[in-house]
Amino acid sequence: MNKEDDFSEWLKKAEDDLIVANASAALHKPQVEIACYHCQQCVEKALKSFLVYHKVEFNYIHDLEKICNDCEKIDPTFTVWKKQCRFINQYISITRYPSNVDVTVSDMKLALKFSDDILSFVRGKYIN
């Protein structure tokens, strides 16, 4: 089995992104955009781990809403995360490149909460 085919490897990468997001947020001068970027990466990899677990092939896209929709086809309870995915989704591009959008500390805190919640939700799917 390739590491790419192992859901636990995907989940570990998601957890690592959340660690980086929290560390970036905790700095004396919080790195808001970097934290939000890693929140997006955390959710993306967590959702993809669920697809890998269920042996569902997916395109290597970054759109959290689309990935969440794919998860919802397997487990309808994923529908509760669509709003949060839409919120975090914005950070895939506005945090990677110069933009006119200001990301606030409040935005970052919300992204951290949502990504932690979604990661915990996905982790719970493997325990059951």
CA gap 118, 122 in Å, rounded: 6
CA-based R_g, the chain, Å? 14
pTM: 0.93
| Angle between helical axes of 64-74 and 32-53 (0-180°, round to 10) | 30
With a cut of 60, say whether residue 1 has pLDDT above it.
Answer: no
Write out the two tokens for 60.
Answer: 């290597």
For residue 14, give the CATH number of its domain. Answer: 1.20.120.330
Q: Give 75-113 pLDDT, tens digit per residue.
A: 999 999 999 999 999 998 877 777 778 899 999 999 999
Q: How high is the pLDDT of residue 12?
A: 96
The parent domain of residue 82 ranges over 3-127
Confidence of residue 4 (pLDDT cuts 50, 70, 90): low
CA gap 71, 84 in Å, rounded: 14
The residue-averaged pLDDT of 53-70 equals 93
58 Cβ contact list (under 8 Å, min separation 6): 48, 51, 67, 70
Q: For the chain, give percent helix, strand, coil, nearest 5.
A: 75, 0, 25
Q: Give 6-26 pLDDT, tens digit per residue.
A: 999 999 999 999 999 999 999
Structurally, the chain folds into a number of domains equal to 1
